[in-house]
């Protein structure tokens, strides 16, 4: 899926708005995988692969795609929250452990 996403995006075969819909879907798939993975290492590799696809497509298109970068930032924040890691990029976000 990632390779096709990169190819369509880099070749201008998909608009940025449509690519955002695809990226939201991929983000949801990756987040769903966290329920099946005891270790977030594999999920983090998928996140990194998706980031590299976006970077390669931006390089080929010779333009940045801030809407898609924002979606990847949302994914990163969600994975940080799921993993119990503190997000240092936004000091207003704090996560508390809940007992029970």
Cα–Cα distance, 23 to 31 (Å, whole number): 12
* 26 Cβ neighbours under 8 A, 6+ residues apart: 1, 2, 5, 50
Asked whether residue 35 is assigned to any structural domain, the reply reads yes
Asked whether residue 98 is assigned to any structural domain, the reply reads no
Q: Which residue has the higher pLDDT, 67 or 82?
A: 67
Q: Where are the alpha helices (DSSP H) in the chain?
A: 2-10, 16-33, 41-61, 66-82
Asked whether residue 96 is assigned to any structural domain, the reply reads no
Domain hosting residue 57, numbered range: 2-82
Q: Which residue has the higher pLDDT, 17 or 87?
A: 17
Asked whether residue 87 is assigned to any structural domain, the reply reads no
Cα–Cα distance, 87 to 50 (Å, whole number): 20
Q: What is the pLDDT of residues 17-75, one digit of tens each?
A: 999 999 999 999 999 999 888 888 999 999 999 999 999 999 998 888 999 999 999 99
Q: Name residue, tokens 């608009």.
A: 15
What pLDDT sits at residue 37?
Answer: 83
Collapsing DSSP states into helix, strand and coil, what is residue 85? Answer: coil
């Amino acid at each position: 899926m990632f390779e096709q996403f990169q190819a369509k995006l880099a070749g201008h075969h998909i608009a940025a708005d449509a690519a955002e819909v695809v990226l939201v879907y991929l983000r949801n798939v990756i987040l769903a995988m966290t329920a099946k993975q005891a270790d977030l290492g594999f999920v983090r590799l998928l996140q990194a692969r998706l980031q590299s696809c976006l970077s390669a497509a931006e390089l080929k298109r010779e333009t940045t795609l801030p809407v898609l970068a924002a979606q990847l930032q949302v994914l990163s924040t969600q994975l940080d929250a799921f993993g119990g890691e503190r997000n240092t990029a936004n000091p207003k976000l704090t996560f508390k452990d809940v007992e029970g």
